[in-house]
Amino acid sequence: MVSLTFDNGPDPAVTPRVLDLLAERGLKATFFVVGEKLARHRHLAERAHAEGHWIGNHTYTHAAPLGTQDAATARAEIERTQELLDGLAHPDRLFRPMGGGGRLDRRLFSRDAVDLLTAGGYSVVLWDRLPRDWEDPDGWVERALAQDGNVLVLHDVATGAMDHLQTFLDRAQAAGIEFGRDLGACMPIRRGEVVAPLDGLVTP
């Protein structure tokens, strides 16, 4: 079972086609949106929400990992987007940090950011299936099919990678991969409670 997640949108040139493809197959995904893009293209997140997809917070600028930022900047990155998500946010306040190239390392969080996320009742969603579609827009499908993991990260941005989403979905379903929306395997913080070790993910 693989959970589809899309980061860094919404993008008017890409997100509608992604939503069309998911609707054709009756699939539901989770979209982790960047606040400054949400401010410009809220109607796309509204469409995703109306079609039953979950919407989560992926920082306001997607500029740098939280572990490299001071407390005030990290707070603004999280809270500005959460405010914009009013009426669209998943009840569990889903949040995905910016990984700086998909890396799960000590730059991911600062201690201040962890404290803010737990105090705010957020659920943090990481990843374990990362085909790096933003680096290889034409070759990511093979990696996505070959990798293990439950939470797949793709990006609904204008790299050309989502031109191959239909191919991926067709091949994945033909291979017996089922798509669901269980994010728990990659959720170290759930509704404000730390439920899995954060070793290696927090700046000392």
Phi-psi region of 48 (alpha: psi -120 to 50; beta: other; left: phi over 0): alpha
Query: Each residue of 139-184: pLDDT tens digit?
Result: 999 999 999 999 999 999 999 999 999 999 999 999 999 999 999 9
On the question of a cis peptide bond just before residue 12, with omega within 30 degrees of 0, the verdict is no
Can you give the residue ranges of every domain in the chain?
A: 2-194
pTM for this prediction: 0.97
* Dist. CA 185–CA 178, nearest whole Å: 16
Catalytic one among 7, 11, 133, 156?
Answer: 7
Q: H-helix or E-strand containing 55?
A: strand 54-57
Element (H, E) at 54: strand 54-57
Query: Residue 106 in contact with residue 76, Cβ under 8 Å?
Result: no
**In CATH, what class is 2-194?**
alpha beta
- 58, 90, 155, 164: which one is catalytic? 155
Assess whether 86 carries a catalytic annotation: no
Active site residue 7: yes
Q: Which amino acid is at 199?
A: D
Integer Cα distance of 108 and 52 in angstroms: 29
> What are 176-190's pLDDT values in tens digits?
999 999 999 999 999
